[in-house]
């Protein structure tokens, strides 16, 4: 089974600064059949269900602010929040098929 490992487990970033979350898979999630990375990112705020932010590793879901971006291919991926806003405080998860990463908690420094 594929294991998705996120780092760090938590981070504190000042308002307006960049936040970077990493996700590493134990096997490649790049499918040669369509050259797509089967990797998504979710944001979960306290008391709310997760929200899809990014899919195919780098495609932003409709309505997601452009300060959120995804990058990477194969086994190593990154979610970047270019300028952290107060409303971005949340736990972020990466996902490949039925497997989720353990989550990264983002807080304000």
Partner 1 sequence: EVQLVESGGGLIQPGGSLRLSCAASGFTVSSNYMSWVRQAPGKGLEWVSVIYSGGSTYYADSVKGRFTISRDNSKNTLYLQMNSLRAEDTAVYYCARLAHSSSWFLDYWGQGTLVTVSS
In the complex, the residues that contact partner 1 under the rule CB under 8 A are 38, 40, 42, 44, 48-52, 55-56, 61, 93, 95-103
Nearer to partner 1, 14 or 77 (CB): 77
Nearer to partner 1, 61 or 73 (CB): 61
Question: Among residues 7, 28, 6, which one has the least CA distance to residue 73?
Answer: 28
Nearer to partner 1, 24 or 51 (CB): 51
Nearer to partner 1, 4 or 81 (CB): 4
- Supply the minimum distance, in Å, between the C-beta of residue 49 and partner 1: 4
- Supply the minimum distance, in Å, between the C-beta of residue 17 and partner 1: 25
Question: Among residues 82, 76, 92, which one has the least CA distance to residue 41?
Answer: 92
- Supply the minimum distance, in Å, between the C-beta of residue 51 and partner 1: 7
Question: Among residues 99, 98, 94, 104, which one has the least CA distance to residue 39?
Answer: 94
Q: Where are the beta strands (DSSP E) in 1-109?
A: 4-7, 10-13, 19-25, 30-31, 36-37, 40-44, 51-55, 59-60, 68-73, 76-81, 90-96, 99-100, 104-108
- Supply the minimum distance, in Å, between the C-beta of residue 58 and partner 1: 13
């Amino acid at each position: 089974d594929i294991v998705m490992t996120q780092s760090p487990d938590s981070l504190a970033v000042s308002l307006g600064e960049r936040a970077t979350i990493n996700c590493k898979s134990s096997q490649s999630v790049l499918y040669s059949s369509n050259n797509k990375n089967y990797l998504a990112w979710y944001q979960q705020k306290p008391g709310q269900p997760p929200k899809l932010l990014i899919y195919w590793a780098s495609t932003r879901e409709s309505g997601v602010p452009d300060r959120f971006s995804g990058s990477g291919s194969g086994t190593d991926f990154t979610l970047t929040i270019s300028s952290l806003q107060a409303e971005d405080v949340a736990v972020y998860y990466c996902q490949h098929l039925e497997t989720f990463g353990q989550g990264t908690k983002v807080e304000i420094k």
